[in-house]
Amino acid sequence: MEMLKQKFKAQADKLGEEIKAILKEHGDTVIGQTTLSQVYQGMRGMTALITETSLLDAQDGIRFRRHSIDELREKLPKANGGSEPLPEGLFYLMLVGEIPTQEEVENLTSILQRRSHVPSYVFETMGHCLKKHIP
């Protein structure tokens, strides 16, 4: 998990520096006008957030970190003998911004499996709380 944390931090630090530079140079730039109707009608036609994780395009479909679903089906690691990418591979891509290797996905899978056990006291506490709040 430490390696994944380090990769994520490195990406976040790099992006943070890029954003600071953009804001320093262009922070006062006006990028459009917004009408009250747009706000009340679900922000139609407004760019309200800059994101690099996913994009929904009417022509291209969904893209994750600039990759189409077809590209990801080809590039992301698969289980031995499997034909579809492992979900951990997509999680890794979304978190770090890079297509993971087979080894990186296997490592992440192992970490998630080791951490998947929910202690019994959690279920006991949830059950106790539900009894108090459900008539």
Q: What is the pLDDT of residues 22-64, one digit of tens each?
A: 989 988 888 778 777 777 777 767 766 677 788 887 787 899 9
Q: 45 or 121: which carries more pLDDT confidence?
A: 121
User: What pLDDT is stored for residue 30 in this prediction?
Assistant: 80
Closest CA to 95 of 108, 111, 78, 84: 108
User: What pLDDT is stored for residue 128 in this prediction?
Assistant: 84
Q: 109 or 131: which carries more pLDDT confidence?
A: 109
- 100 in helix, strand or coil? coil
Report yes or no: 102 and 126 within 8 Å, Cβ to Cβ: no
Tell me how many degrees the CA angle 71-77-81 measures, rounded to the nearest 5: 115
User: What pLDDT is stored for residue 47 in this prediction?
Assistant: 67
